[in-house]
Amino acid sequence: MPIAIPADSVGLVQPQQLHFDQPLDLACGRRLDNYNLTIETYGTLNADRSNAILICHALSGNHHLAGYHSMDDRKPGWWDSAIGPGKVIDTGRYFVVGLNNLGGCHGSTGPNQINPDTHKPYGPDFPIVTVPDWVESQARLADRLGISQWAAVIGGSLGGMQALQWAIDFPQRLRHCIIIAAAAKLSAQNIAFNEVARQAITRDPQFYDGHYYAENAIPKTGLMLARMVGHITYLSDDGMREKFGRDINSGQLSFGLGPQFQIESYLQYQGERFSTAFDANTYLLMTKALDYFDPAADYGDSLSEAVSGTQCTFKVISFTTDWRFSPERSREIVDALIDARKPVSYAEIDSPQGHDAFLIPIPRYMEVFGACMQQVAAELPPVPESR
């Protein structure tokens, strides 16, 4: 049955693919001679090109931020709760840009795309990409779209890391930087969980050293395990307790080795669904981009030095029960900005939903986020009456 599109949705949307043939030199020392970026945009770029907002995606996200690709879509884009007419990121006011990052698996050049040199999928030969590489490619995307300065660059989790990197690498090209549920670098525990995911994928016999496309195989078990581990770190202990507690599946104890508690079936379901929807090589690349993110490293391990040249205002938001990137990690960013005498505001949102909270339209979060966006909007020329 076709869906009914809500009035505050961006509605039916279409991705576009843009080709770039200026070579991109990557942090790893390798070069992409040319590449494609798949993007989606909503709203209209105003006359002075001042109302563009870039949304950077997290580990498993992509360009499809909001709206529907067809009337049969069961779900809208991943941040539909925040993006649309009259929503926090108001598409009646802003020109909103989403892209699939390089190395992704949703249309941009990445492991599951054909390498023009070999006419085969890049597979494991796709180079390691880093947050600064992505930001460079996004700057070229801005050039292509005629956007010399973003009104704001916004992201949650790994997306927030890209927003921070934007402020450091292109200080004049954004006015506001909104960093949600992120960290200035991963902890050993964060890296450890990523490594479990990578081991699960690369040791799956269906992985074939990353050449599973040629074998018509998918390392489903590895991806499922990776997602299960990831999912536990996205939820909070409290949130899981509220949602699942120790509720059992069938109403009585089975005393078997299969799933007994609802949390087990839930995780298996999430893991299995993900295992056929996401590319394993991309998952590896995304986790490595997380591990390597460390903008302070080039500045003598001083984050306040790293942000000393930034020119935008910063808004940092964290969530109380997020233990993947806890409020403490957000405060490290805030402290560095304060040290560097940069304009920053910070909000810690009370929520039981852990890291996942950044995707959820929690009323207080939306109020705070809305206040941030009011400041972005205040600098824009008035919207013409006709709209």
Query: How many Å apart are CA 63 and CA 201, to the nearest integer?
Result: 24
What is the CA 193 to chain-centroid distance, rounded?
Answer: 18
Whether 204 sits among the annotated catalytic residues: the reply is no
What is the CA 371 to chain-centroid distance, rounded?
Answer: 22
Among 16, 17, 28, 350, binds a copy of itself (CB under 8 A): 28
Among 187, 214, 298, 350, binds a copy of itself (CB under 8 A): 187
- E strands present in the chain: 16-20, 24-25, 31-32, 35-42, 52-56, 83-84, 89-90, 95-99, 114-115, 120-121, 150-156, 174-180, 313-319, 344-349
What is the CA 225 to chain-centroid distance, rounded?
Answer: 20
Contact 94, 43 (CB under 8 A): yes
Query: How many Å apart are CA 214 and CA 125, to the nearest integer?
Result: 14
Give 69 or 288: the residue with its C-beta nearer to a copy of itself.
288
Residue 93 bridge partners (DSSP)? none
Neighbours of 157 (CB within 10 A): 27
Choose among 124, 123, 164, 129: nearest CA to 25.
129
CB of 321 to a copy of itself, least distance (A): 11
286-315: which residues touch a copy of itself (CB under 8 A)? 288, 291-292, 294
Pairing of strands 174-180, 83-84: unpaired
Give 73 or 238: the residue with its C-beta nearer to a copy of itself.
238
104-143: which residues touch a copy of itself (CB under 8 A)? 124, 127-128
CB of 332 to a copy of itself, least distance (A): 12
282 binds a copy of itself (CB under 8 A): no
Among 171, 261, 370, 377, binds a copy of itself (CB under 8 A): 261
Give 150 or 207: the residue with its C-beta nearer to a copy of itself.
207
Number of residues that bind a copy of itself (CB under 8 A): 53
Choose among 167, 117, 187: nearest CA to 314.
167
Query: How many Å apart are CA 82 and CA 261, to the nearest integer?
Result: 33
Q: Which stretch binds a copy of itself (CB under 8 A): 2-10, 84-92, 189-197, 306-314?
A: 189-197
Residue 56 bridge partners (DSSP)? 155
Among 171, 259, 309, 370, binds a copy of itself (CB under 8 A): 259
Whether 231 sits among the annotated catalytic residues: the reply is no
Give 188 or 378: the residue with its C-beta nearer to a copy of itself.
188
Whether 301 sits among the annotated catalytic residues: the reply is no
7 binds a copy of itself (CB under 8 A): no
24 binds a copy of itself (CB under 8 A): no
Among 139, 141, 145, 196, binds a copy of itself (CB under 8 A): 196
Give 41 or 190: the residue with its C-beta nearer to a copy of itself.
190
Pairing of strands 35-42, 95-99: antiparallel
Among 35, 150, 166, 193, binds a copy of itself (CB under 8 A): 193
Query: How many Å apart are CA 186 and CA 158, to the nearest integer?
Result: 10
Can you give the binding site for a copy of itself, defined by CB under 8 A? 27-29, 124, 127-128, 185-189, 191-193, 195-196, 198-200, 202-203, 205, 221, 224-225, 228-229, 232, 235, 237, 240-241, 243-246, 253, 255-257, 259-261, 263-264, 267-268, 271, 284, 288, 291-292, 294
**Catalytic residue IDs:** 157, 322, 355
